[in-house]
């Protein structure tokens, strides 16, 4: 390498003391590039070119009309030796170098610890060209071509426009990476063209749109929220808070629609729970895809599900799909109808002296192979069936087949916790006819605890659990 490898930087010289030794035309040439930088310039020289004198008279610089003194170096941030005396220039450099100042001796690369570049600029865009002292004339030629062919006034205006958005973008996108790819997408968007053709106002509007819409690097999140059994007051406080800050809500048929009023008014509300049999009910995979898509757009997604999300709510499948897609999620448990529907009918699922435990089953296995373990179900002190009102005869028959006596108390509670709540209380023998009118959703409870929900049956209980 026959030349030095300089390290290019852009210095902030605003109000920083710059000393120029010499006041002739060479100094004037350096002044042209230094003055716009806002440096605090002192020229030390017994004589000065008329233009330098004018600049001094205008207050653009300070001219000290005297010989250079060694101690002049001390206060300077940057020193430029621009006299026509090579010996003096070399001496200034040696002093500057010794004091670790940025020092340049004009046209004398050996006596410099920095050199100046040929500059092309357009608004805030600046291109500095150096030939490492090999050919300043060539560097000037390159500078000129950059200025004519690349640094158009439109680019300068674009740089200024983007600069006006910097603080807002920085506040909204916390990481350097996020900002970097955001700016790349802006530069590739139609916004530069809009600025050029329609001006700043139109570009500002387009930018605001893009900004509101395009937050790919804000991390989305899905919260599965249990909505409770029906009464909208039975959502948890945590679930309510999640709903209040949701940016999109996907809700089920069983989640009370009144809860949706808590979502922000601009959050889209997506119904993914048409009743079974109604056409157009989204498949589970479609729900997964929607959750993933909205989360990937950086949104806070609330998946509002009836009861508790993990009790026959396919919540488990949803979190598996989210995990597989690499999407963060959390689960806010809910009040499950399995326990609250009996409670709403005055039936505790356990009771001292009557029931030491309960089991919850679906009356509808996903397939014939996945049926209820009837033997276990029949043997439980309390057994609860969800999704079973249409299958009540089957439930009764199976429990009887597996040894549960005909006089075992049974309750069917429909639309529990809602104003339309209805219930039937009887025995395995009588329940089918008593519950014939009851509609889905309904919960079936079997076991001695059911007596607690019925005034007549309770009388039989005197002394139990006391």
Residues that bind ligand SAH (CB under 6 A): 229-230, 254, 306-308, 311-313, 336-338, 341, 386-387, 413, 415-418, 440-443
**Minimum gap (Å) between residue 245 Cβ and ligand SAH:** 23
Q: Tokens 């007596």 identify what position?
A: 451
* Count of beta carbons in the 10 Å neighbourhood of residue 322: 22
**Minimum gap (Å) between residue 424 Cβ and ligand SAH:** 12
**Minimum gap (Å) between residue 380 Cβ and ligand SAH:** 17
Choice between 353 and 393, CB closer to ligand SAH: 393
Choice between 260 and 413, CB closer to ligand SAH: 413
**Minimum gap (Å) between residue 233 Cβ and ligand SAH:** 13
Whether the CB-CB separation of 355 and 332 falls below 8 Å is answered with: no
Whether the ω angle into residue 441 lies within 30 degrees of 0, i.e. cis, is yes
Tokens of 257: 């629609």
Whether the CB-CB separation of 333 and 309 falls below 8 Å is answered with: yes
**Minimum gap (Å) between residue 322 Cβ and ligand SAH:** 18
Greatest extent of the chain over all pairs of C-alpha atoms, in Å? 122
Choice between 370 and 462, CB closer to ligand SAH: 370
The secondary structure of residue 258, as a DSSP letter, is G
**Minimum gap (Å) between residue 217 Cβ and ligand SAH:** 34
Phi, psi of 57 (to 5 degrees): -65, -35
In degrees, rounded to 5, the angle at the alpha carbon of residue 33 between the alpha carbons of residues 27 and 36 is 120
Q: Tokens 């920085």 identify what position?
A: 170
Known catalytic residue: 101? Answer: no
Choice between 131 and 336, CB closer to ligand SAH: 336
Choice between 13 and 338, CB closer to ligand SAH: 338
d(CA 46, CA 24): 10
Closest-CB residue for ligand SAH?
Answer: 307
Known catalytic residue: 204? Answer: no
Q: Tokens 């100094």 identify what position?
A: 27
List 70, 75, 274, 407, catalytic entry: 274
The secondary structure of residue 219, as a DSSP letter, is P
Closest residue by Cα to residue 227 from 242, 216, 215: 242
Cβ partners under 8 Å of residue 163, min gap 6: 124
List 252, 271, 308, 407, catalytic entry: 252
Beta-bridge mates of residue 146? none
Which residues belong to the active site? 252, 274
């Amino acid at each position: 390498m026959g030349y030095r490898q300089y390290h290019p930087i852009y210095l902030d010289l605003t109000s920083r003391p710059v000393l120029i030794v010499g006041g002739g035309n060479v100094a004037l040439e350096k002044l042209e590039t230094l003055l716009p930088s806002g440096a605090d310039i002192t020229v030390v020289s017994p004589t000065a070119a008329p233009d330098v004198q004018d600049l001094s008279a205008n207050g653009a610089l300070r001219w000290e009309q005297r010989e250079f003194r060694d101690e002049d170096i001390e206060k300077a941030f940057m020193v430029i030796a621009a006299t026509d005396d090579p010996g003096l220039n070399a001496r200034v450099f040696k002093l500057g170098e010794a004091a670790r100042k940025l020092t340049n001796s004009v046209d004398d690369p050996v006596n410099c610890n920095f050199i100046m570049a040929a500059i092309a600029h357009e608004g805030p865009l600046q291109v500095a060209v150096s030939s490492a002292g090999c050919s300043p004339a060539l560097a000037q030629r390159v500078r000129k071509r950059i200025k004519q062919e690349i640094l158009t006034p439109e680019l300068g205006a674009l740089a200024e426009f983007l600069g006006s958005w910097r603080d807002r973008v920085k506040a909204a996108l916390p990481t350097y990476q996020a900002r970097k790819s955001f700016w790349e997408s802006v530069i590739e968007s139609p916004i530069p063209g809009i600025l050029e053709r329609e001006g700043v106002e139109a570009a500002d509007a387009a930018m605001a749109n893009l900004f509101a819409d395009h937050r790919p690097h804000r991390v989305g999140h899905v919260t599965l929220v249990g909505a409770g059994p029906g009464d909208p007051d039975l959502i948890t406080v945590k679930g309510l808070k999640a709903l209040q800050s949701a940016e999109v809500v996907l809700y089920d048929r069983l989640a009370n629609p009144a809860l949706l009023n808590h979502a922000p008014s601009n959050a889209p509300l997506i119904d993914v729970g048409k009743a079974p049999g109604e056409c157009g009910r989204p498949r589970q995979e479609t729900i997964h895809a929607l959750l993933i898509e909205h989360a990937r757009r950086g949104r806070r997604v609330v998946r509002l599900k009836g009861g508790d999300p993990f009790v026959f709510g396919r919540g488990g499948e949803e979190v598996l799909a989210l995990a597989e897609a690499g999407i963060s999620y959390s689960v806010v448990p809910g009040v499950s109808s399995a326990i609250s529907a009996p409670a709403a009918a005055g039936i505790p699922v356990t009771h001292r002296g009557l029931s030491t435990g309960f089991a919850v089953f679906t009356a509808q296995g996903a397939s014939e192979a996945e049926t209820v373990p009837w033997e276990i179900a029949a043997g439980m002190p309390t057994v609860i069936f969800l999704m079973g009102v249409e299958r009540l005869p089957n439930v009764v028959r199976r429990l009887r087949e597996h040894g549960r006596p005909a006089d075992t108390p049974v309750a069917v509670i429909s639309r529990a916790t809602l104003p339309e709540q209805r219930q039937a209380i009887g025995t395995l023998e009588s329940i089918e006819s008593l519950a014939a009118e009851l509609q889905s959703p309904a919960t079936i409870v079997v076991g001695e605890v059911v007596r607690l929900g019925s005034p007549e049956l309770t009388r039989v209980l005197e002394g139990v659990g006391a």
